[in-house]
Amino acid sequence: MSSTENFEELTTIRDVIRYAVSQFNEHKLFFGHGSDNAWDEAVYLTLFALNLPLDELDVYIDAHILKKERKRCLDLIHERVKKRVPLAYLTGEAWLQGYRFIVDKHVIVPRSPISELLGQQLSPWVINPDARLNILDMCTGSANLAILAAINFPHAHVDAVDVSEKALKVAKQNVELYQFAHQVSLYQSDLFTDLPEKQYDIIICNPPYVNETSMQALPEEYQNEPKMALTGGEDGMDLIRKILHDAPRYLRDEGFIVLEIGHEYENFLTAFPSINPTLLETETTTESILLLTKEDLLMLD
């Protein structure tokens, strides 16, 4: 990336994408915030910078680009390499299950596999997705799961909770983006502490759960996300202990919680030996998402 490089030789979209892939591979970037490889990220970056549809690469790939367009692309490529932050922080947006969400450095980049289960309307656990359900999204961050819940359960009301005022500002932008102020309510609260007494049919929760050893080993891209949204203490269970202790008071008798725990399943079983969780599988996970009924939670030691 020296000043002597002749970027004028990059004349087409194909050229820019190839250059981006080479740069990403050369600098050993880590991918896991919307894509899992250099090619997909390079394609998204380039199409975003050129204001082109993200699903029409074949139509434009050999199109010539203007000098100012090339500069926009190169600025993003070089910033991604230099800062090693998730690309979503540079573009200000992230995509999940086909939906666009506004993001910034105060929220983790949306990627929870719970989103896939919401897209399936939590079948077969929810018998009637058109019912007037009460749903709680604990640790909402950018409110992406809360909004997906509102989309897939159109008659439900969703309360979205986070302790971070800055995260809730991002959440508010997304609620306004989807015009869901009538269906999604935002609360600033340290877990259940400042949440109004209410019983829910469903609690969805993607809490901080990364154990301390794993936190130290995370790639730099993850280290650039808000630490408070990731770290779960020595065994990853610090906040989960509090959540599961208080959740029964907020669940209806037939209610349940859908809990993401990442790679901490063994730590979960050690921390909660009296619970026999139901594992919910997605395309990419087998032991990362648990379903716990109110009855399960009442068995906690």
Per-residue pLDDT of the chain (301 residues), as tens digits, is: 544 477 999 999 999 999 999 999 999 999 999 999 999 999 999 999 999 999 999 999 999 999 999 999 999 999 999 999 999 999 999 999 999 999 999 999 999 999 999 999 999 999 999 999 999 999 999 999 999 999 999 999 999 999 999 999 999 999 999 999 999 999 999 999 999 989 999 999 999 999 999 999 999 999 999 999 999 999 999 999 999 999 999 999 999 999 999 999 999 999 999 999 999 999 999 999 999 999 999 998 6
Domains of the chain by residue range: 7-84, 106-297
Calculate the CA dihedral of residues 16, 19, 20, 26 and round it to 10 degrees. 180
Alpha-carbon gap, residue 43 to 51, rounded angstroms? 12
What are the angstrom distances between the C-alpha of 197 and each of 66, 157, 161, 193, 202? 58, 15, 13, 10, 15
What pLDDT was estimated at residue 247?
A: 97
Choose the CATH number for 106-297 among 3.40.50.150, 3.40.50.300, 3.20.20.10, 3.40.20.10: 3.40.50.150
What pLDDT was estimated at residue 120?
A: 98
Say what the pTM is. 0.94
| Neighbour tally for 264: CB within 10 Å | 22
For residues 278-289, b (16+ Cβ closer than 10 Å) or e, as one string?
eebebeebebbb
Residue 84 burial class via C-beta count within 10 angstroms: exposed 0-12, middle 13-18, buried 19 and up: middle
What pLDDT was estimated at residue 3?
A: 46
HEC secondary structure over the chain? CCCCCCHHHCCEHHHHHHHHHHHHHHCCCCCCCCCCCHHHHHHHHHHHHCCCCCCCHHHHCCCECCHHHHHHHHHHHHHHHHHCCCHHHHHCEEEECCEEEECCCCCCCCCCCHHHHHHCCCCCCCCCCCCCCEEEEECCCCCHHHHHHHHHCCCCEEEEEECCHHHHHHHHHHHHHCCCCCCEEEEECCCCCCCCCCCEEEEEECCCCECHHHHHHCCHHHHCCCHHHCECCCCCCHHHHHHHHHHHHHEEEEEEEEEECCCCHHHHHHHCCCCCCEECCCCCCCCCEEEEEHHHHCCCC
Beta bridge partners of 64: 12
What pLDDT was estimated at residue 127?
A: 96
Rounded to the nearest angstrom, the gap between the alpha carbon of residue 104 and the centroid of all alpha carbons in its chain is 12
| Neighbour tally for 197: CB within 10 Å | 7
Q: What is the pLDDT of residues 205-260, one digit of tens each?
A: 999 999 999 999 999 999 999 999 999 999 999 999 999 999 999 999 999 999 99
